[in-house]
């Protein structure tokens, strides 16, 4: 990028960030996540670092906080309010810790949860609450005392008659936000900010805001010499403090705290978006000082973004195992949700048109859990003049077959069952985690096996030889043996895994489990523990659509798909070949019904002595069901340590809460 291009991109980024900041800080109507704003700012910082001559005083990188809305009186802060520098990886965190050690030597660190709310500063005079200000631009903020006084956990009078300036975070709990979901706020943080800026304090009083204090400004008395001491002192004065903070003697311990809350944050009653690391001793904080914008003694580790921005460098078509032709955005690689992403789904041609995605556009992408990243929105302000429209192909790019779009569907499909694209995706699905779960067989290995002609159908996985594997590029004896061992360990597998792995349309993981139970009820020998795939094939072929529709949760579409698959000669051939290869299938385990397990729906929360996945499998094996959220249909909430919002909701709905010991007694 030359100087002229960089200047144009910087101007576009500043305009976009200004608009997003205005929505977020002033209107409280942000349409994007904070991670998106972080990504835009990070790109701007990188460009300004590369071209420092282009930095201007009004750049978003050169000031703290946000513009004021003008709706409330502006008041100058007693002491400057700072924003924390952000880090997004353990490497960046380590670099900060090394700078701390270089500056003040080995020292204690305190870790606090980064609450995702609105920063507010309180002024107390002689122990009485006098004023509450937003952070504003760091030098002056808006007077929102009328709303803050309604927050029940903020004392109107301290336990001691002192002057005090203290800052913290105003929050709306997940439980309270759930009650407001129809009021149009994007998230709990926006709802909290919008509530604070209500002109009518009765509105704020009705919305159950909470505040937690964590930062000391000016005070008329001597304060403790450490941040941990200050937090405890706040509590002694009657100020609310979010007590989940820890003091650590080493970086290793502090990172353990980070990993713990990164894993368990969903169980907290409030949203958090990271962990704050600070030098604990105030004297060493003063010794380290500040940059022009941030304190050197503290940093905020932001959890991996679920959303970020990047550039669409091309659009390609991916053919799925059912023939679906899915457009995929080829992206400039970017880190999202903890991994580097270079591709994101565009779903279908209607979505491309609706979102007006063009090659060259800057887009917002998001990723949640194991879901493939998707393009959420085009940032039109950043569209270059060279952006190109995309024309959806009429023929399959893998086999040249004319793509079909059935009436009423949004997806074009390749009808050719022998399409190389469909076969490849079917093989990858067959060995995936929730199917046969052969983790040594990744996509690159599958591609190699196809290229060398070693895979014609699923049964070929079980007849692979070491000599065949050693023909693949970069294969050595150990790697080949690991793959063969992984395959051998799956020659006997749960029936539902195979049913899912076969790729029958509409047969997902849960449907496969329910189908396995149904077939188990129809088998000839009730004592049989294992069977061949050929016997399962015969049971499937004997099923009528009406019988399958009667299975709870199936319906017409699923039943019709299973019957159609079972009638295909290719399906029978595959199942017979799997039998010949020695694959054995385990019927669902028959467990004697025990009150409290069979037919009951459980929700798990908090930290248990075993992994949640292990407990989930145990409940399902005993005939129970595990759900991810609490509802009126929940029978039991199994609550471990640090249980959060799910526990609150269970109590609200009158759901029975079990400790781990009480749960264990149900199995006895």
Of the residues 562, 586, 610, the one at which a domain ends:
586
Q: Are residues 210 and 144 in the same domain?
A: yes
Catalytic residue list contains 114 = yes
- Going 241 to 244 to 246 to 252, the CA torsion angle's sign is negative
Please report how many Cα atoms fall inside a 13 Å half-sphere around the Cα of residue 443, on the Cβ side. 4
| Alpha-carbon gap, residue 224 to 235, rounded angstroms | 13
Q: Are residues 432 and 459 in the same domain?
A: yes
What are the residue ranges of helices labelled H in 51-187?
Answer: 90-104, 145-148, 174-179
CATH number at residue 7: 1.10.287.610
Which residue in the block uniquely carries the two structure tokens 């002229």? 4
The answer to whether position 400 is within a domain reads no
The answer to whether position 536 is within a domain reads yes
Nearest to 189 by CA among 213, 205, 173, 201: 173
Q: Are residues 181 and 291 in the same domain?
A: yes
Give whole-number Cα distances, 562 to 78, 557, 569, 654, in Å. 71, 9, 14, 40
| Alpha-carbon gap, residue 591 to 588, rounded angstroms | 9
| Alpha-carbon gap, residue 183 to 168, rounded angstroms | 25
The answer to whether position 486 is within a domain reads yes
Taking 50 as the pLDDT cut, the residues of the chain under it are none
| Alpha-carbon gap, residue 10 to 257, rounded angstroms | 37
Of the residues 470, 490, 510, the one at which a domain ends:
490
Of the residues 15, 41, 62, the one at which a domain ends:
62
The answer to whether position 404 is within a domain reads no
Q: Which of 114, 174, 600, 646 is catalytic?
A: 114
The answer to whether position 456 is within a domain reads yes
The answer to whether position 592 is within a domain reads no
DSSP string, 322-344: T-BEEEEEEEEEEEETTEEEEEE
Q: Are residues 539 and 558 in the same domain?
A: yes
DSSP string, 589-657: P-----TTTTT-EEEEESB-SS-HHHHHHHHHHTT-EEESS--TT--EEEE-BT--HHHHHHHHHTPEE
CATH number at residue 442: 1.10.150.20
Residue 137: CB atoms within 10 Å: 16
Q: Look up residue 573 and give its two tokens.
A: 């051939």
Cβ-contact 32, 189 below 8 angstroms:
no
DSSP string, 126-159: TTEEEEEEE-TTSSEEEB-HHHHTT-TTS-SB-S
Per-residue pLDDT, 453 = 95
Cβ-contact 522, 615 below 8 angstroms:
no
The answer to whether position 358 is within a domain reads yes
Which residue in the block uniquely carries the two structure tokens 């005083």? 57
CATH number at residue 634: 3.40.50.10190
Q: Are residues 111 and 234 in the same domain?
A: yes
| Alpha-carbon gap, residue 66 to 138, rounded angstroms | 8
- Beta-strand (E) ranges in 421-570? 492-494, 530-532
Q: Are residues 240 and 101 in the same domain?
A: yes
CATH number at residue 323: 2.40.50.140
Cβ-contact 156, 162 below 8 angstroms:
no
The answer to whether position 410 is within a domain reads no
Q: Are residues 427 and 476 in the same domain?
A: yes
Range of the domain at 501: 493-586
Q: Are residues 250 and 200 in the same domain?
A: yes
Q: Are residues 348 and 363 in the same domain?
A: yes
Q: Look up residue 469 and give its two tokens.
A: 């594997």
| Alpha-carbon gap, residue 290 to 273, rounded angstroms | 23
- Please report, in angstroms and rounded to a whole number, the separation of the first and last CA atoms in the chain: 68
What torsion do the CA atoms of 418, 419, 425, 428 make, to the nearest 10 degrees? 50
DSSP string, 545-600: HHHHHTSTT-HHHHHHHHHHHHH-HHHHHHHHHHHHTT-EEEPPP-----TTTTT-
Q: Are residues 146 and 240 in the same domain?
A: yes
| Alpha-carbon gap, residue 604 to 627, rounded angstroms | 8
Q: Are residues 506 and 576 in the same domain?
A: yes
Cβ-contact 602, 577 below 8 angstroms:
no
Q: Are residues 194 and 84 in the same domain?
A: yes
User: For the chain, how many structural domains are there in total?
Assistant: 6
Give whole-number Cα distances, 507 to 261, 482, 565, 617, in Å. 35, 30, 11, 19
């Amino acid at each position: 990028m030359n100087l002229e291009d960089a200047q144009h991109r910087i101007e576009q980024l500043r305009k976009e960030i200004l608009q997003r900041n205005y929505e977020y800080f002033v209107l409280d109507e942000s349409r994007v996540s904070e991670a998106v704003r972080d990504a835009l700012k990070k790109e701007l910082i990188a460009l300004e670092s590369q071209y420092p001559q282009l930095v201007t005083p009004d750049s978003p990188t050169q000031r703290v906080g946000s513009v004021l809305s003008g709706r409330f009186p502006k008041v100058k802060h007693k002491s400057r309010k700072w924003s924390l520098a952000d880090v997004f990886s353990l490497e960046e965190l380590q670099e900060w810790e090394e700078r701390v050690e270089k500056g003040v030597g080995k020292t204690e660190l305190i870790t606090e949860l980064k609450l995702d709310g609105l920063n507010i500063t309180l002024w107390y005079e002689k122990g009485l609450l006098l004023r509450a200000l937003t952070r504003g631009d760091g030098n002056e903020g808006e007077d929102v005392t009328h709303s803050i006084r309604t927050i029940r956990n903020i004392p109107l009078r301290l336990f001691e008659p002192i002057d005090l300036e203290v800052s913290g975070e105003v929050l709306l709990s997940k439980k309270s936000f759930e009650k407001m979901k129809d009021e149009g706020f994007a998230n709990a943080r926006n709802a909290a900010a919008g509530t604070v800026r209500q002109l009518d304090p009765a509105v704020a009083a009705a919305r159950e805001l909470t505040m937690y204090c964590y930062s000391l400004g000016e005070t008329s008395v001597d304060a403790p010499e450490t941040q941990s001491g200050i937090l405890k002192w706040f509590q002694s004065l009657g100020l609310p403090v979010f007590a989940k903070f820890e003091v650590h003697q080493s970086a290793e311990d502090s990172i353990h705290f980070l990993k713990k809350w990164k894993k368990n944050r969903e169980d907290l009653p409030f949203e958090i978006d990271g962990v704050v690391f600070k030098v604990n001793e105030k004297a060493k904080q003063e010794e380290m000082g500040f940059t022009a914008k941030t304190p050197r003694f503290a940093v905020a580790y932001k959890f991996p973004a679920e959303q970020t921005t990047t550039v669409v460098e091309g659009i390609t078509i991916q053919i799925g195992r059912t023939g679906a032709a899915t457009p995929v955005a080829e992206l400039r690689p970017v880190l999202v949700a903890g991994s580097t992403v270079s591709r994101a789904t565009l779903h279908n041609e209607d979505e491309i048109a609706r979102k007006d995605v063009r090659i060259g556009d800057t887009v917002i992408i998001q990723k949640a859990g194991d879901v493939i990243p998707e393009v959420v929105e085009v940032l039109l302000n950043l569209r270059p003049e060279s952006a190109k429209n995309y024309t959806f192909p009429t023929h399959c790019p893998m086999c040249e077959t004319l793509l079909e779009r059935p009436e009423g569907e949004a997806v074009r499909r390749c009808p050719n069952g022998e399409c190389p694209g469909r076969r490849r995706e079917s093989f990858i699905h067959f060995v995936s985690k929730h199917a046969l779960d052969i983790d040594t067989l990744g996509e690159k290995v599958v591609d190699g096996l196809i290229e060398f002609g070693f895979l014609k159908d699923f049964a070929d996985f079980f007849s692979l030889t070491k000599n065949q594997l050693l023909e693949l590029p970069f294969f050595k004896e150990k790697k080949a043996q690991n793959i063969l061992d992984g395959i051998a360990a799956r020659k006997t597998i749960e029936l539902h895994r195979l049913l899912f792995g076969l790729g029958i349309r509409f047969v997902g993981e849960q449907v496969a489990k329910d189908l396995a139970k149904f077939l188990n009820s129809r088998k000839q020998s009730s004592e049989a523990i294992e069977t061949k795939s050929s016997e399962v094939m015969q049971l499937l072929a004997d099923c009528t659509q009406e019988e399958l529709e009667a299975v709870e949760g199936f319906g017409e579409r699923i039943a019709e798909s299973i019957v159609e698959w079972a009638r295909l000669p290719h399906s029978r051939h595959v199942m017979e070949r799997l039998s010949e290869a020695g694959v054995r299938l385990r019927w669902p385990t028959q467990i004697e019904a025990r009150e409290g397990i069979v037919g009951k729906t459980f929700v798990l929360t908090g930290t248990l002595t075993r992994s949640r996945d292990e407990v989930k499998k145990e409940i399902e094996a005993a005939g129970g069901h595990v759900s991810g959220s609490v509802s009126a249909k929940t029978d039991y909430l199994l609550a471990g340590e640090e249980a959060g919002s799910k526990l609150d909701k269970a109590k609200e709905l009158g759901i029975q809460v079990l400790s781990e010991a009480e749960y264990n007694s149900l199995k006895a």
